């Protein structure tokens, strides 16, 4: 009897163990099948400008809409340090992120690390500024910056009635986006406004408002008595020049066109201190950048170039709904 009892008990134990063994893999598979969020690294040129806060907002909007995406946001301390940005990209490659959205500080220096991402199986979408070699990237999502520069030239030339002395304040060597703006501005001024004279077009503001103010002060000290119009090619550049114009008592005495929006620049537009701001759509740029990375990961075809549009805001149109949305973009 005792022998029969223990045999029966052993069968029950073995049976339960087999049932447990069958259940364990099912639970593990259920956990493995749970949706894991894709990690998309979004790497800006820097983080302090309002423009990049709007880029961050656009990336987060895309992640929220997609539902299965986590944004890993990172930017260099300064917008003129490609080596720090290279290290950031390399760290994300080592981390094994699923995809990268990158706004390269320098069109040449970042090429090799983007190639490394491709070799690691990590798709990269470039936003804002292009790379010299796009072959390692999935897509380029950005403003048509050359056209933006042309729009600035036409607005400036029109307001000067096709005559006068003009200063172009550049941003930073190697920044493809602003180089394209500068090119578009110069080509359009020279072609469409032959009676406008460029009295300075080779000076760089540097990567922040402080250096832009210094350079602007130098330019106005030298050319302040002669200048009739000015174009500054990005937010920090435009803000530094705005301060210098105020200090030199040239407000409303020169036609001033800037690029990008911030609270200070928009306020100056409303006060008539700036006659025009060329606007892009940083929120949509990052939104489309993140979505394009994810479409690539899903095996969907993507466009090699996605344009996000550019407009000129003036005192006359700044309250139009489309322009107002770009003057006051969402910020993270």
pLDDT band at 25 (very low <50, low <70, confident <90, very high): very low
Reading the block at residue 163, the tokens are 């005559």
Confidence check: pLDDT of 259 > 50: yes
Instruction: Give residue for tokens 């408002």.
Output: 209
Q: 276-279 and 311-313 as β-strands: parallel, antiparallel, unpaired? A: antiparallel
Residue 80 binned pLDDT confidence (cut-offs 50, 70, 90): confident
Reduced 3-state DSSP string for 73-105: EECCCCCCCHHHHHHHHHHHHHHCCCEEEECCC
Beta carbons of 85 and 104 less than 8 angstroms apart: yes
Q: What is the mean pLDDT of the chain?
A: 90
Q: Judge whether 1 and 31 are in contact, CB under 8 Å.
A: no
**Both tokens assigned to 174:** 């190697």
Q: List, in order of start, the domains of the chain with CATH numbers.
A: 38-143+281-308 (3.40.50.2300), 145-279 (3.40.50.2300)
Whole-number Å distance between alpha carbons of 238 and 231:
8
What beta strand segments (E) does 88-184 contain? 99-102, 124-127, 139-142, 164-170
Burial 43-68 (b: 16+ CB within 10 A, else e): bbbbbbbbbbbbbbbbbbbbbeeeee
Strand partners, 41: 72, 100
Sign of torsion, CA 193 229 149 309?
negative
Provide the pLDDT confidence category of residue 29 given band limits of 50, 70 and 90. very low
Q: Residues 169-225: pLDDT tens digits?
A: 999 998 999 999 999 999 999 999 999 999 999 999 998 999 999 999 999 999 999
Q: What is the pLDDT confidence band of residue 36, given thresholds at 50, 70 and 90?
A: confident
On the question of pLDDT at 19 being above 70, the answer is no
- Quick one: pLDDT at residue 20? 36
Q: Which contiguous run of DSSP H or E holds residue 17?
A: helix 2-32
CB under 8 Å to 330, separation ≥6 — which residues? Answer: 54, 57, 58, 61, 283
At 39 the three-state DSSP class reads strand
Residues 6+ apart with CB under 8 A from 80: 105, 172, 206, 207
Q: What is the arrangement of strands in the sheet containing 69-74, beginning at the earlier edge strand?
A: 69-74, 38-43, 99-102, 124-127, 139-142, 305-307
The answer to whether 246 and 296 are in contact (CB under 8 A) is no
Residue 135 clears pLDDT 80, i.e. is over it: yes
């Amino acid at each position: 009897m005792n022998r029969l009892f223990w045999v029966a008990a052993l069968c029950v134990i073995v049976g339960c163990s087999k049932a447990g063994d069958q259940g364990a893999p099912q639970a593990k598979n259920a956990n493995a099948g749970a949706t894991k969020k894709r990690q998309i690294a979004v790497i800006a040129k820097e983080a302090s400008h309002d423009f990049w806060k709007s880029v961050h907002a656009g990336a987060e909007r895309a992640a929220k809409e997609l539902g299965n995406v986590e944004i890993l946001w990172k930017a260099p301390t300064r917008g003129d340090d490609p080596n720090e940005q290279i290290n950031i990209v390399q760290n994300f490659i080592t981390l094994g992120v699923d995809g990268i959205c990158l706004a390269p500080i320098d069109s040449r220096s970042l090429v090799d690390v983007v190639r490394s991402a491709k070799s690691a199986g990590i798709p990269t979408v470039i936003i804002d500024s292009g790379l010299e070699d796009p072959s390692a990237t999935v897509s380029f999502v950005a403003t048509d910056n050359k056209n933006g520069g042309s729009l600035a030239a036409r607005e400036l030339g029109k307001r000067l009635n096709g005559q006068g002395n003009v200063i172009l304040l550049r941003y930073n060597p190697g920044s493809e986006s602003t180089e394209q703006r500068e090119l578009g501005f110069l080509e359009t001024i020279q072609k469409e406004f032959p009676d406008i004279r460029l009295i300075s077009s080779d000076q760089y503001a540097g990567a922040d408002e402080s250096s832009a103010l210094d350079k602007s002060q130098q330019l106005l000290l030298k050319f302040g008595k002669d200048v009739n119009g000015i174009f500054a090619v990005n937010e920090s550049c435009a803000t530094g020049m705005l301060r210098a114009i105020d200090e030199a008592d040239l407000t409303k005495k020169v036609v001033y066109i800037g690029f990008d929006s911030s609270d200070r620049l928009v306020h100056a537009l409303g006060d008539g201190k700036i006659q025009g701001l060329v606007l892009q759509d940083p929120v949509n740029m990052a939104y489309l950048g993140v979505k394009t990375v994810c479409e690539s990961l899903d095996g969907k075809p993507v466009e090699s170039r996605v344009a996000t549009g550019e407009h000129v805001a003036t005192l006359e149109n700044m309250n139009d709904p489309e322009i107002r949305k770009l003057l006051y973009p969402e910020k993270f």
